[in-house]
Homo-oligomer: A and B are copies of this chain.
């Protein structure tokens, strides 16, 4: 194992898969000469040249569509959205085209494509630039949706995504890019399968389900609560929200009898509510308390820093929710 940043984990996955398969290319705004708006693709242009690391004009729907056409005919595009906010102008390409071609061609044409970029809030970038897009894409059959929190998951899932035969929505995070973590040594290739949750912490008192950026707030909260109240949480990170590893979540809840779901997307619906639905259905007789959720407030993201902190799921809100389900 080595320690690298999330940004480098993504970059390594891209580099290794591009080395392995000449059909893989990276396309998006500023991915080449600029080395990526968040420096994720640093060095890739130099290594693979302009034919495989392709700077685009600002035309998300256009280059997403180009990716779909290229994937339909055998290439393996990785399409970068500078942030997922800009995918909204390309949503039709993802939902109506990428997710549908395999089905509407009667299973004759697959679309092996990855759409990736940072999801969710960054820091004070305002309401148009702070969307957590899970509720939009995770609802759509035909898509997979990955939302890794750690460098290791980011790397292993991105490699799987690039080799998958279907369109994958791959959600990174601007504030995650600087996070450090362990990844397998060079040469030890790791592909993380979709739909397998990771147990980030074992515990007996409460199951906490979390993915993406709030994973870190959650880990702080559960450690604090362990110290303060001797409540031991089991933290389950599904890593992919479509497919969703409901079995692992339910199994854990059957053990702990309590559950809190933490996510950055707005409260209404989305994978957050879906997990609650599954847990109450499949672990009904095991629940000692209603399942609680901690989400961003139901408010467009404000600019002012202290207000943004109020809107995002905070350590203290996570802690309160755990205390609540534990009647602590």
CA distance A270 to B293 in the complex (A): 15
Identity of the chain B residue whose Cβ is nearest the Cβ of A293 in the assembled complex? B277
Q: Which of A22-30, A73-81, A131-139, A172-180 contacts B (4 or more CB under 8 A)?
A: A131-139
Q: Which residues of chain A from 111 to 130 have any CB-CB distance to chain B below 8 Å in the complex?
A: 126-128
Contact code string A79-123 (vs B, CB < 8 Å = 1, else 0): 000000100110110011001100110000000000000000000
Q: Pick the contact of A127 from B100, B131, B291 — CB < 8 Å?
A: B100
Task: Kindly state whether residue A21 has any CB partner on chain B within 8 Å.
Answer: no
CA distance A313 to B266 in the complex (A): 27
Q: Pick the contact of A284 from B127, B272, B289 — CB < 8 Å?
A: B289
Output the least CB separation between A318 and chain B (Å). 16
Task: Kindly state whether residue A242 has any CB partner on chain B within 8 Å.
Answer: yes
Verify A280–B274 contact, CB threshold 8 A: no
Which residues from chain B contact A272 at a C-beta distance below 8 Å?
A: 269, 277
Task: Kindly state whether residue A43 has any CB partner on chain B within 8 Å.
Answer: no
Verify B290–A284 contact, CB threshold 8 A: yes
Which residues from chain B contact A289 at a C-beta distance below 8 Å?
A: 284
CA distance A141 to B302 in the complex (A): 13
Which residues from chain B contact A131 at a C-beta distance below 8 Å?
A: 95
